[in-house]
Amino acid sequence: MLAQYLDIKPEVAAALTAGEPVVALESTIITHGMPYPPNVETALRVEQIIRDHGAIPATIAILKGKLKVGMTPLEVEYLGKAGLDVIKTSRRDIPFIVAKQADGATTVASTMILASMAGIKVFATGGIGGVHRDAQQTFDISADLQELANTDVAVVCAGAKSILDIGLTLEYLETQGVPVIGYQTDTLPAFYTRESDFSVDYRLDSAEQIAAALTAKWQMGLKGGVVIANPIPAMHQLDRGMIDDVIVDALAQMKQQGISGKASTPFLLTKVAEKTHGKSLKANIELVLNNAKLAAEIAIEYAK
């Protein structure tokens, strides 16, 4: 049964049994979202921030076919060093990685699935996948959105990168009944910048208010996830014009090289990092740390 696949770290299992706050973390951001070694350093700092704020971190991945909920620092180092050699694993890929007893880096979608299997309700990451620009032609819509429609986990993120079509991403989420909360913001943050041209569904100004909405949603049996969009701290945000130019450039290169499917997002993330000479990486690290803190606060309020 499920127990033979699922490997919950003892510390995480104990916290869940005791009803203590736990925050899930994804691993594709480690393997495909950042280079080594800042990826490992960041992953470990994120875990520490969650602890400092009074919750237990659970970094999620698949290792030798086991669904790992909570990893040791050595396991995080192993995964981060392997980087792009680890298979990016979304919902469709999970059974194949497990059957092969291989390693898999979990995306937002698959991290939500494993978190939900373990009973974790709050998850912190950088950015979610979404509807790509030109999706009208390519049909490239991240499985993250469908997962948000179906799986009861709240995802704290810095909004959606403008490698995506933010407007279409919001339309898709609306259709699927996924609420988009802005934490202390009226517009959906665009990852590197605090603002976009699009409004969030609900602005909430405290972790307590957010936890109350989550409790109401799930106690009533309204299935599905929630997007909690937390703007990057002002001092770390990048210039909007600069980053937009970089993204347009990266998109053109992607088209030219014929890159599509699951390779698209990692390609764009890498190009953006190259073209900003590491500025985007620094911003990415800061916003993830910021999201981890908010996620811990929400998990604590939710556990009350």
In the stretch 101-120, what mask flags binding to ligand PSU with x, by CB under 6 A?
------xx------------
Q: Is 271 a residue of the active site?
A: no
| Contacts of 168 by beta carbon, 8 Å cutoff, 6+ apart | 130, 131, 135
Whole-angstrom Cα distance, residue 162 to residue 182?
Answer: 17
Residue-by-residue DSSP string for 62-127: EETTEEEES--HHHHHHHHHHGGGSEEE-GGGHHHHHHTT--EEE-HHHHHHHHHHHT--EEE-S-
Establish if 26 lies at the interface with ligand PSU (CB under 6 A): yes
Count each helix (H run) and each strand (E run) in the chain, helices first. 13, 11
Q: State the nearest-atom distance from the C-beta of 164 to ligand PSU, in Å.
A: 8
Closer to Mn ion by Cβ: residue 241 or 261: 261
Establish if 29 lies at the interface with ligand PSU (CB under 6 A): yes
Q: Is 161 a residue of the active site?
A: yes
Closer to ligand PSU by Cβ: residue 127 or 179: 127
In the stretch 189-228, what mask flags binding to ligand PSU with x, by CB under 6 A?
--x-------------------------------------
Maximum alpha-carbon separation in the chain: 53
Active-site option among 9, 68, 88, 161: 161
Which residue from 129, 243, 110, 125 is spatially nearest to 178, judged by alpha carbons? 129
Q: State the nearest-atom distance from the C-beta of 293 to ligand PSU, in Å.
A: 18
Tokens standing for residue 173? 């989420």
Helix (H) or strand (E) holding 235: none
User: Is beta strand 66-69 parallel, antiparallel or unpaired with respect to 226-229?
Assistant: unpaired
Of the candidate spans 138-146, 170-178, 228-236, 240-248, the one that interacts with ligand PSU by CB under 6 A turns out to be 138-146
Closer to ligand PSU by Cβ: residue 8 or 158: 158
Of the candidate spans 112-120, 170-178, 262-270, 272-280, the one that interacts with ligand PSU by CB under 6 A turns out to be 262-270
127 binds, among ligand PSU, Mn ion, none (CB under 5 to 8 A by kind): ligand PSU
User: Is beta strand 180-183 parallel, antiparallel or unpaired with respect to 66-69?
Assistant: unpaired
Would the CA dihedral through 6, 11, 15, 20 be positive or negative?
negative
Establish if 39 lies at the interface with ligand PSU (CB under 6 A): no
Residues forming the site for Mn ion (CB under 5 A): 140
Residues forming the site for ligand PSU (CB under 6 A): 26, 28-29, 33, 90, 107-108, 126-127, 129, 142-144, 161, 191, 262, 265, 269
